[in-house]
Amino acid sequence: MKISTEQLEKIAAERGRVTPTGAEVDAAVIRLIDADLIQQVTAKVVSTPDRDEMVADVKARIEAGAYHVSSEEIADAMVRRAIADKVR
């Protein structure tokens, strides 16, 4: 999710600063996350198989040569992980 220049300027104006701090930008990002999205993600996490099952599946696919991940998928997972860490 990208923060607009207007949103950054609003944060700066509220704080009386020209440039917001990293923590203020992070807080703005978190406020922008849609509550419905959080509920959807939570439901998916709850319905996700146990980690041991997932690890076993990935290992089996790697050994069979059937596990292929694109750079876009890796980047997407990294961004989702960063957002999830901030929401906690």
Alpha carbon distance 1, 8 (integer Å): 14
Percent of the chain surpassing pLDDT 90: 25
Q: Given a cut of 70, is residue 65 above it in pLDDT?
A: yes
For the chain, give every domain's residue range: 49-88
84 versus 23: the higher-pLDDT residue is 84
Residue type, 8: L
pLDDT at 48: 78
